[in-house]
Structure 1
């Protein structure tokens, strides 16, 4: 029996072919930038550790990874930069920010004459990065949280719903950033004063019913209402400040500030109490060169590695110390524990967690200051 021949020659199909096609659906620009899978990060887990910092980045249920991060240092080591970036509408904006924001901020820092201008320099770096990304003609965007450590001062900046939380010696949590979700009254008024509007969509306040944050880099289709100027805070480093936690909202949607600090203090403090020596006595291979949990030794994606751009002026390296393995074990274990906690509670978003050991930089800042 040739079912195919019968169906192909049947009158019902002939009539169906004569029907008028439906109107073509116009896809809005906000949904047009969908990167090819080959362009996205193909490793579901990426981790990195060096003296004083650990990062764990986990892809959520999306087809491609939209988070990114950066760890960077000036050539003489007196300035350190740390950033976590959460992309939306595609990975292009987050990747662009990871490759450019720190460079723009460092350029702005070179032109200032007084320490009190650091805050303005960081803001200018954000705005310049946004300006240059908009020239790419893409509609994706990125939320950001960054920390610049310069001597005894730390400048923390953020856009959107990434967050920086300070872990104090007594185990208390101190949020250093302001959430730029448009349900905040002052943000809503600012948008409305510029002729825009905010409405609830799928249970969340959104700019023009689409974007759940009121500040970001990129988002060209909403740039008249969505700012790229970050909230910035200058903090004087104190010995009681133990760790700084930077993370994307994939963590914060499921884990509170206090819970996160409890995990960090428990794992990092216990690791510091242990005296573990490298039995081989050889310099330990960097986790960033091993990439993620893969056993084939493949490196992580380019935009999530420490940059080697402009080596003559700046370099992304940190001094070796005898406790490096100890730092990596405690910091990475805490980063992974937090990501796993969020996933266990139902987070489907990409998650990036970065923990900075401020005691490491507190000590060095005192040396540099002398």
Structure 2
């Protein structure tokens, strides 16, 4: 019985000490709660959003008090009441929290960058673009525009042209460009050294202005006649030397047929050489003018029953027979031709094909041979290709035209149109040329179109 009473007294004492410790802990927690809780229902800003003075005065600002929880828990096992009271009155440790102003510095830097960018953009919008440096004009002949300007010639060049000549006719129409850049030239009833008769026909297609096409139309035919005259004189002198006693004594006798064949071939070679020389001479004379631009050409020379056709560029000459068969007497000089590409590349140039599928020399010019084009003369030559054909009764007419026609009308179609016009009784008029021009335009040609029709029957000996 005595042992039971002692056990109960010990249990009551332990419960009393536990209750006393819990009361002390509760009182300490109640004293700390007002320090870390807001005094009102209004929201309190974060410490970095408060002014410095407010942060210094705030009880929950930069200094916070935390209860010594570890010490309080240790006190639960201490039965000494005085020791618990000493712990309750002990000073709590102070923890100082310092918040750096990194966010404010970042915001200030962003505002500075935005201000600087806005100022630079405003200054750029108000600034004038740099001045363009325009090169000085090249030295030119008196009265010649170095840029090949055609403003003064626009009033003199008609948008449409029709010519009905003796043995030929022509029709021409301007494209959608600012000025007409096609031209033509004709020389008929001309006598060379009082012996043979000749006729010269040419169609020219300029680019970069009318300067080149006007010059070539005026000079090329005259230079061909002059070169033929010089060639005839040289040939006559050579024949006289061959007939002299000194030369005949050292050579073996030849048959009359061999002599005739040799003489004929020499005459043909002389005419071909004269045409080439005239082309190159005209090109050199134009380059001395110091003007821009260039021109393509297709020419026909009829001399002593022989037809000599020459061309540079993409102008074309097509022969029409009595049976209505078309025969192209020229081949277009473009960068798409394999032999022309090899020639250009061997001269240090290059050809390229653009997105439109057109091959160009130095990414610029679509033709590989032409008059002028001084800046590209190293690759764009003016040496023509010359073909020769003996005229026969089957040779009916010749169609000479610029690429404005041939880009939309085939050679056979052009001959068919002329043959149909002849069947309708309009072969000798300009009507067939006009019909070809209209056909090309209706098919979408935007280029200048010039068509010349030459009657070859007038040169056939009856």
TM-score by length of 1: 0.75
**Alpha-carbon distance, 1:127 to partner:** 0.3
Structure 2 residue 461 is the aligned partner of structure 1 residue 357: no
Greater relative CO (CA pairs within 8 A, separation 6+): 1
Q: Find 1:206's aligned residue among 360, 363, 371.
A: 360
Contact 1:56 1:352 in 2 (8 A): yes
1:188 has 2:188 as partner: no
Q: How does 1:28-177 map to 2 (within 5 A)?
A: 33=147, 35-40=149-154, 41-76=156-191, 78-112=197-231, 113=235, 114-116=266-268, 117-177=270-330
Root mean square deviation, CA, Å: 2.4
1:26 Cα offset (Å): 5.7
Please, which of 329, 341, 345 is the counterpart of residue 439 of structure 2? 341
Tell me, yes or no, if the aligned pair for 2:199 and 2:303 is still in contact at 8 Å.
yes
* Contact 1:52/1:361 (8 A) holds in 2: no
**1:232-286, Cα deviation, whole Å (9 max, x unpaired):** 00110010010100000000000000100000111024327xxxxxxxxxxxxxx
Aligned to 2:281, the other structure's residue is in SS state: helix
CA distance in 2, matches of 1:223, 1:139: 12
What residue ranges of structure 1 are gaps of 5+ in the alignment? Answer: 1-13, 273-325
Aligned to 2:353, what secondary structure does the other structure show?
Answer: strand
Q: Which digits, 9 at most, give the CA deviation of each residue in 1:124-157, with x for residues without a partner?
A: 0000000000001112000000000112101100
Number of residue equivalences: 295
Please say which structure displays the higher CA radius of gyration: 2
Gaps of 5+ in 2: 1-121, 138-145, 236-265
Asked whether the 8 Å contact 1:37–1:63 carries over to 2, the reply is no
Equivalent pair of 1:168/1:240 in contact (CA under 8 Å): yes
Partner of 2:382: 228
| Contact 1:250-1:349 within 8 A present in 2 as well | yes
Deviation at residue 15 of structure 1 after TM alignment: 6.5
For residue 217 of structure 1, the aligned residue among 330, 349, 371 is 371
Separation in 2 of the partners of 1:268 and 1:333?
A: 10
SS at match of 1:109: helix
Give distance in 2, aligned partners of 1:256 and 1:19.
56
Instruction: Give the TM-score normalised by structure 2.
Output: 0.61
